[in-house]
Structure 1
């Protein structure tokens, strides 16, 4: 049964916000909180043919030195990871989480999370990992790969935490975003939050009917829902609405073929995610 809020912690500047958003979600969902640190132990570089002028004995000595160095680096990385996990656990406890758990695994991040996906109710990730260049306009490569591999909701968070009060769902009437509306209606994660349902397109009867469906679902469960239909380019229209209404959590479908969901399709991530300054909840 998928029930845990799992937060991936690393040495990036996003780690504190990952921790705080994970605490927020765990408390609202009344779900166990697990902090995960994955040690991606890259294989040591292959030694070239060092037997020339230095001799076989010297080559063997060098390889032994490299092996020892690699082992020391692995131990240091493991210790650093444990310290980060301890700090995250203490931070969560200070915010009232009774028994946050920590895990450290060796392996590749995407494969590790895929193996554990059956236990994950919500996965919390930073926008970039510690290996990503801060000035890069692309998200961390791990995040893009995790989004493609996982079939669980993923909360991608910015570098600063702010408790969400107003959520917006980028709605297009698709199966994925209809599922998202139903999830918002049913989940304690969104109780008490103002909800905005935004569609991009011409204000025609079919779109209005789909918007009315979403608003009825939300209002019937006691969620204060607002609806809007905006014309224009998708990304710019969503950003404009976000800033107009001080939205601090955006819900989107991760893949698909409609105008909104095309934002996340392809080998590179679009500016909607790259420039996000609020958390994005990505649905599959």
Structure 2
């Protein structure tokens, strides 16, 4: 069974860009595309109300029946909204040249549902919730950190507007798994023709210059135009400064390696970093 590009669609302002990035990835990778909408019918419920001592003569039972009816109606509306969103996403992907897009509507919580689909995935595409996006708990952004922590497939977190990546930056730390990330970037059809940049945030010494040279050599041997730098200081600040200086379109990071980059990805600053980024972030596991 071929591994799919899986795009998680919700009702946020990111869904259109999720569709566009997913279509781009599907076409570049030659992988089938699946749009998924997860209906969590209990996400807006803060808990069953405590009606003890407040109702009498069967009023409590009647109210519970009415609440159950409202839950069923809300679930039906959620399913219908999800179906329409999936249909619109599939139609948009077909317009962009994807011939084998399929849709799946599933019930449950977002993170657990996506983890359950992991074996079918080659890449997961999700939206990043910004400051002005809807704050309801069912929207994708509120689950951002849990998804990064629990998924073991590459995850592409995208902003609200699509731009086909032409300049790609990889955050590199010289670790064994980071080297695998560079090799993946070099050979992946997703980045064919892209200009590749490597940033190593650490002390500028002979060892790190050798590491940077190795990474640039791998990328150039694969046919990429490649350049890079060693910067000292805070990882997040260094990455954002380099992005702006070189008009980077996509950032590649790994949830692995030395303490500073690993802490950035799986520590308390994960969600803030991903949401503040103005460009897509591809997280490698």
Q: TM-score, normalised by structure 1?
A: 0.92
Give the CA deviation at 1:219.
1.4
- 1:185 Cα deviation (Å)? 1.3
Please show how residues 131-210 of structure 1 align to structure 2 within 5 Å: 133=134, 140-210=141-211
Q: Which residue of 1 aligns with 2:13?
A: 13
Q: Does 1:226 align with 2:223?
A: no
Higher alpha-carbon deviation: 85-94 or 218-227? 218-227
* Counterpart for residue 216 of structure 2: 215
Helix, strand or coil for the counterpart of 1:181?
A: helix
* Distance across 2 between alignment mates of 1:103 and 1:260: 35
Instruction: Note if contact 1:51-1:59 (Cα within 8 Å) is conserved in structure 2.
Output: no
Q: Is the 8 A contact 1:176 1:283 kept in 2?
A: no
Greater Cα offset, 114-123 or 261-270: 261-270
Note if contact 1:11-1:130 (Cα within 8 Å) is conserved in structure 2: no
| Structure 1 residues not aligned, in runs of 5+ | none
1:161 aligned counterpart, secondary structure? coil
Cα distance, 1:128 vs structure 2: 2.1
Moved over 4 A (4+): 129-134
**What is the CA deviation profile of residues 158-205 of structure 1, one whole-angstrom value per residue up to 9, with x for unaligned ones?**
111111000000111123321110111121001100000111122211
1:122 paired residue number = 123
Q: Aligned pair in 2 of structure 1 residues 130, 170: CA closer, same or farther (>3 Å)? A: closer
1:55-87 deviation per Cα after TM superposition (whole angstroms, max 9, x unaligned): 232221111111111100000000000000000
Distance 1:114 1:97 in 2: 25
Over 3 Å counting, the alpha-carbon distance change for 1:59 and 1:242 in structure 2 is same
C-alpha distance after superposition, 1:115-167 (max 9, x if no partner): 11001000000012999656xxxx92311111111000000001111110000
Q: Residues 187 and 268 (structure 1 numbering): CA distance in 2 closer, same or farther, change over 3 Å?
A: same
Change (3 A) 1:231 1:49: closer
2:77 partner SS: helix
Would the aligned equivalents of 1:14 and 1:129 in 2 still touch at CA under 8 Å?
A: no
**How many corresponding residue pairs?**
279
